[in-house]
Chains A and B, each alone.
Chain A
Amino acid sequence: METLVHNLIASGAFGKNASPHLVAAIVVFIMSAVVFLGVAFPFAGIVSWAERRVWARIQSRVGPNRVGPQGFLQWLADGVKHVCKEDIIPDESDAPLFKMAPYLVMLAFTLPWAVMPFSSSLILADLNVGILYMTSVTALTVVGVLMAGWASNDKWSLIGGIRSAAQIVSYEIPAGLSIFPVVLMTGTLSMQGIIRAQGWAPQHWFLFANPFTFVAANILYISALAEGNRTPFDLPEAESELVAGFATEYSGMRYLFFFMAEWGNLFIIGAIIATLFLGGWQFPHIIKSVVAMNILEAITFNVKVLFLVFVSMWIRATLPRVRIDQLMTLCWKYFVPISFVNMIGTAVWVAIWPDGNSLMRYLMLAAAIALAAVFTQRVIYYLRRSRMEVYFNPTI
């Protein structure tokens, strides 16, 4: 970053006596604009289309396939429709708060992109408290959601907002506790530092470092889904009970903001898991060129994240919504104690084997491969039982 600023000043593009701070600010603005407008917002849109296609195929339907090739431009049509709609603000609502709430939710969605480690050098700011920053700014969502629920002056919205607050605050605890094992092993909170402590090979990922981290990764993923208000934890917007929860009174662009944040958060969930447990952008050094290496690393990172995004869609199409007491039971009776066990277990593990136990790494990897094999066998069993031909072509 600093070398880039120095090079820019030296090139004379900003005049001879340009202030380094000003140039740095311009560079940061341009880079963040590129990240938000070029990556975050289109991603949120495309996920909305991809998610509907994935659900549709799981439910033996086709899904949106009319706008553009295979319906790919459906998200643009939906976005334009929402922008063109009237922005209704209820008379009885608290108008300033009502108007502000979607922007706070949007803020909580855009802030984490600052520490998104796309590759070894493609990161806006490699903060030394990266993962802490990530978890804390994503928790800002609760302010916006609660504000939306309160300001709407509507019982459905209020119940949705309160539920969301309870859910996000509760699940912050197991999520935070599940980050500790990784921090214990690496001794750093920086996103790049955590990724550099892992290797490109699966046995060097923290997912397979020891049994505790494997459990921690699963708990963190489920807790992140709960924080992102995803099915099976989408109680705040449970359609059958609360119309649309905290978004009931919203329309047009402001309504769209809530859902863009929800879909965009999928990438952030995937990025957290990929960074902490799946080796992030790590890729074997096969090319000398720094640019080519960075592209390969960015592709690796995005493949891992998109796989996790696909799994969350798959979970959403599989599991029914849990009840509010079941939600809290899952968090406080199961995830929190198990997370504590994970943390202490990892601490003991690190005390015994400071550099990790390579035998355990290979054992864990073998167990994971066996689990995947059993899963594939079950899928084949269900396919055979249905007596239907395998049709894997996504275009229909």
Chain B
Amino acid sequence: MSAVSEYVGNIKEAVTSIFEGMAVTASHFMRKPYTVQYPDRMPVRVQDTLPFRYRGILEVDLEICTGCLACERACPIDCIVIVVDKDPLTRQMLLSQFDIDIAKCMYCGLCSEPCPTGSIHHTTEFEGADYSLESLIRRFVKDPVMAYKPKKGPETDPQIAPILNRGMTYLDQWAQPGGEKPPAEEEPA
């Protein structure tokens, strides 16, 4: 008797489970696909939809780079090469080379953490495909430029202030554990 009930039970189980499975897939058939149709057929660029803390290709704002070499020392695979000279006449720091080898970079973000001004930072750009390794080395210094010298008070130069502001915001958010931008708060005295 148990064999018969097992036989009938098997049929019942097969029919009901296929019935439920078909119902589940039918409900999926009527849902919207999740697919993001990169790179075209997007209402906005993919780069603009990425979170602020996304670790894309590195970029350097030379206007606020102090030439402190903190990022070069932090880089675990030495993909950053910086050359800083002291101008013998004006006795100022001159940046004569700032190269980042994107082919070597592993997007760990260790360089952007110690930067005092937020000059070196990740962008949301990720389309780095290129035809040669040579062109993957990003050379940020074309002509030697003066390194940025932090002021005692707030920055007054109208050209540099917004860049520095952006860099400091980046640093603040980089230090946050969460992804969302925190509301601006007054520093406790």
Contacts and interface: CB of A to CB of B under 8 A. Distances in A.
Nearest to B26: A379
Contacts of A382: 23-24, 26-27
B11 A334 contact: yes
Interface string A366-396: 0000000001001111110010111110001
B25 to A, nearest CB: 4
Contacts of B23: 375, 378-379, 381-382
B41 to A, nearest CB: 9
Contact of A389 (B19, B22, B32, B33): B32
B42 interface: no
B150 interface: no
Contacts of A315: 22
A389 B37 CA distance: 20
Nearest to A371: B19
A388 B31 contact: yes
A391 B21 CA distance: 20
B11 A59 contact: no
A17 B10 CA distance: 68
Contact of B27 (A62, A383, A389): A383
A318 B25 CA distance: 6
B11 A378 contact: no
B37 A58 contact: no
Contact of A317 (B19, B20, B25, B34): B25
Interface residues of B, number: 21
Contacts of A381: 23
A286 interface: no
A225 to B, nearest CB: 12
B131 interface: no
Nearest to A382: B27
Contacts of A285: none
A88 interface: no
A90 to B, nearest CB: 38
Contact of B25 (A314, A388, A392, A396): A314
A388 B31 CA distance: 7
Given A58-B25, A314-B22, A379-B26, A386 B33 contact: no
B76 to A, nearest CB: 38
Greatest chain B CB density within 10 A among A379, A386, A388 is at A379
A6 interface: no
B30 A59 contact: no
A319 interface: yes
Contacts of B32: 60, 388-389, 391, 396
A81 interface: no
A61 interface: yes
A318 B30 contact: no
B20 A59 contact: no
B11 A375 contact: no
A391 B35 contact: no
Given A319-B18, A375-B23, A382-B23, A59 B31 contact: no
Contacts of B28: 57-60
A339 to B, nearest CB: 13
Contacts of A391: 30-32
B13 to A, nearest CB: 12
A67 interface: no
Contact of A375 (B19, B30, B33, B35): B19
B36 to A, nearest CB: 10
A60 B27 contact: no
A56 interface: yes
Interface string B22-62: 11111111111111010000000000000000000000000
Interface in A56-77: 56-62
B21 A318 contact: yes
B31 A378 contact: no
Nearest to B21: A318
A57 B29 contact: yes
13 contacts: A57-B29, A57-B33, A60-B31, A60-B34, A314-B26, A319-B21, A375-B19, A378-B19, A380-B27, A382-B27, A386-B27, A386-B31, A390-B30
Interface of A: 54, 56-62, 314-315, 317-319, 334, 375, 378-383, 386, 388-392, 396
Interface of B: 10-11, 18-35, 37
Given A334-B11, A390-B31, 9 more contacts: A58-B25, A58-B28, A60-B28, A318-B24, A318-B25, A382-B23, A382-B27, A390-B30, A391-B32
